[in-house]
Structure 1
Amino acid sequence: MKLTPTEEELMNHLWKLKRAFMKDLLESYSEPKPATTTISTLLTRMQEKNFVGYDTAGKLREYYPLVSKENYFSKHLNGLIKNFFNDSPAQFASFFTKKTELTQEELLQLKEIIDDQLNSKK
């Protein structure tokens, strides 16, 4: 299951905070801040999708992520590669390196990461 862009934005705040009450989440947004009801609705939908859980502290709810950022984006990226690049990581890498206007330094960093992965698989 996927998050909408607004849910992803809220989830990013929650991943950063790790645990948060409603007021903490609202404070993490820059101006103009969303309405409390908007955040509440998003949190309810995200709970239904099993992305967010909460503990009760008196009348307040302390929210926390049920899915790690790494796992979420890994599944998202794998789906992207499967659906848009014919399940070919090489096609994705080609597109990514050509269309993102990476500097030579950034390309060298990517090469180093790939070389490290190749060496770890020997």
Structure 2
Amino acid sequence: MKSYRDLDVCEEARKLVSIVYASTQEYPKEEIYGIVSQMRRCAISIPSNIAEGCGRQSSKETIHFLYISRGSLYELETQSFLSKDLNFLSEEKLNKILEQIEACMKLLNGFINYYKKL
């Protein structure tokens, strides 16, 4: 198997981190320790848990971390909708984040299914 760094799911998850960081730069200053911090930590946890899972000894352990990554995708999706509801995020930026979340979700689900078959 190739390195986790070369996996499409990891590359797309890293793109998501960049999108989230760029999209949250203009949030109100009082949100820097609130929703901005939460969204950024959530986004970072996605590729981080993929990497950690790939470093584990068994498929069961790997799948566990991939599920954590998937949970973070759902969490980030919710935070993005809340940001739009609070007028911190434009429709355009929301859609960009959601499109990348969907791309990551499809790849991650495929990766999980791959490990389930091992």
TM-score, length-scaled by structure 2: 0.28
Considering fraction of residues, name the structure with more helix.
2
- Relative contact order (alpha carbons < 8 A, sep ≥ 6): 1 or 2 greater? 2
* TM-score of the pair, normalised by structure 1: 0.27
Greater percentage in strand: 1
